[in-house]
């Protein structure tokens, strides 16, 4: 009788175990999206208000299947070096000190510098996070080399436009993605700022350039597929400032508002970010996506709302 009870107890215990193993996982155990690469594409002078009219099928598909805003706001003044610095450094002009369109060094003393002598950049944060992982930067305008932490980036390449075209930068960037499969890499195009200054923001030449840039974005997305990393890659499309007539630098919405698009694993689909998005939110958001810690000095906010 005693042993029969024991058997009964064992059987009921195993039934209980099967039952509990079949329970769905509680909400808190939902897995984080598996993102191992961030590929960022920057377009100098891409104005938020001109995107709707643009023939940019790849970018618009990323918006339809990702999270986006056309009103991410410039630091002041709304010029290039100031805003690329803000994007990379997670702080505004008053802290990083780059004040002119083409500043190569801070125009006044930065509020705080890191171990490499400049305000910590996204590359500083990623180097601190995992020094073994590759990061890289590709750009057509040489000033970018002065705005990133060249000691913390694995490799950077200044590849200027040739005869008004960007095929060289695109080809080098594609080779990097295919060969190196970097943790974080970025390609920053000089256009459509070039066409904006020469022909005007929204001119036929400016709009035609947007379509060419879109074809480069499509080639880059294809490259991640060939490299076998597409499913684990988050794409970011970003600009520094917009423009109006043949210039920018002031405080109109046309000059200050630029697009910011996120597309990849775990990102909400067709989600327009309604809350305020500042240029200096970019670095903290990239750090958050890759699990790196934001340097103490950063003032931007990670846009965590882009994820499901």
Q: Which residues bind Zn ion (CB under 5 A)?
A: 193
CA-CA distance, 93 to 267, in Å (whole number)?
Answer: 30
Q: How far is the CB of 166 from Zn ion (least distance, A)?
A: 16
Q: How far is the CB of 254 from Zn ion (least distance, A)?
A: 13
Closest approach of Zn ion to the CB of residue 74, in Å: 12
State the minimum distance, in angstroms, from the CB of residue 80 to Zn ion. Answer: 6
Q: Which is nearer to Zn ion, 161 or 171 (CB)?
A: 161
| Least Cβ distance, residue 258 to Zn ion (angstroms) | 12
Cβ-based nearer residue to Zn ion, 216 or 241: 241
Whose Cβ is closer to Zn ion: residue 149's or residue 193's?
193
Judge contact between 295 and 120, C-beta under 8 A. Answer: yes
Q: Do residues 124 and 148 lie in contact, with contact meaning Cβ atoms separated by under 8 Å? A: no
129 or 199, CB closer to Zn ion?
Answer: 199
Total Cβ atoms within 10 A of residue 219? 15
Nearest CB to Zn ion, comparing residues 58 and 78: 78
Contact (CB, 8 A) for 68 and 273: yes
With vertex at residue 216, the alpha carbon angle to CA 284 and CA 246, rounded to the nearest 5 degrees, is 80
- If one counts every other C-beta atom within 10 angstroms of the C-beta of residue 245, the result is 13
Please say whether the beta carbons of 185 and 173 come within 8 A. Answer: yes
**Cβ 39 to Zn ion shortest distance, Å:** 24
We find the least distance from the C-beta atom of residue 45 to Zn ion, in angstroms, to be 5
Q: Residue 143: CB partners within 8 Å, gap ≥ 6?
A: 80, 81, 84, 102, 103, 104
17: which 2 tokens? 């175990």
Residues linked to residue 72 through DSSP beta bridges, in sequence order: 258
> Quick count: other Cβ atoms within 10 Å of Cβ 67?
23
Q: By C-beta, is 252 or 304 nearer to Zn ion?
A: 252
Residues belonging to the chain: 308
Rounded Cα gap, residues 72 and 239, in angstroms: 9
Nearest to Zn ion by Cβ — which residue? 193
Helix (H, G, I), strand (E, B) or coil at 178: helix
Q: Which of helix, strand or coil describes residue 184?
A: strand
Q: Which is nearer to Zn ion, 123 or 206 (CB)?
A: 206
Q: Which is nearer to Zn ion, 39 or 194 (CB)?
A: 194
In whole angstroms, how close is the CB of 243 to Zn ion at the nearest point? 7
- CA distance linking residue 1 with residue 9, whole number of Å: 13
């Amino acid at each position: 009788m005693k042993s029969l009870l024991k058997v009964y107890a064992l059987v009921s215990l195993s039934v209980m175990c099967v039952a509990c193993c079949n329970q769905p996982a509680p909400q808190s155990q939902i897995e984080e999206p598996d993102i191992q690469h961030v590929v960022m594409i920057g377009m100098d002078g891409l104005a938020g208000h001109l995107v709707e009219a643009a023939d940019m099928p790849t970018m618009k598909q990323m918006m339809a299947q990702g999270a986006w805003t056309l009103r991410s706001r410039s630091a002041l003044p709304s010029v290039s070096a100031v805003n690329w610095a803000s994007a990379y450094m997670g702080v505004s002009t008053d802290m990083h000190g780059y004040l002119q369109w083409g500043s190569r060094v801070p125009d006044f003393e930065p509020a705080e510098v890191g171990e490499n002598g400049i305000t910590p950049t996204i590359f500083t944060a990623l180097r601190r996070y995992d020094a073994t992982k590759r990061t890289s930067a590709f750009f057509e305008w040489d000033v970018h080399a002065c705005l990133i932490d060249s000691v913390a980036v694995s490799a950077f390449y200044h590849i200027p436009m040739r005869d008004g075209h960007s095929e060289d930068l695109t080809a080098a960037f594609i080779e990097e993605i295919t060969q190196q499969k970097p943790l974080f890499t970025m390609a920053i195009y000089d256009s459509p700022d070039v066409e904006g200054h020469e022909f005007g923001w929204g001119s036929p030449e400016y709009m035609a350039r947007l379509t060419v840039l879109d074809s480069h974005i499509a080639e880059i997305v294809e490259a991640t597929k060939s490299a076998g990393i597409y499913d684990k890659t988050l794409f970011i499309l970003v600009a520094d400032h917009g423009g109006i007539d043949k210039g920018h630098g002031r405080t109109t919405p046309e000059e200050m508002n630029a697009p910011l698009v996120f597309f990849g694993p775990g990102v909400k689909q067709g989600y327009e970010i309604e809350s305020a998005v500042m240029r200096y939110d970019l670095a903290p958001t990239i750090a958050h996506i890759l699990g790196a810690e934001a340097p103490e000095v950063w003032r931007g906010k990670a846009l965590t709302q882009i994820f499901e």
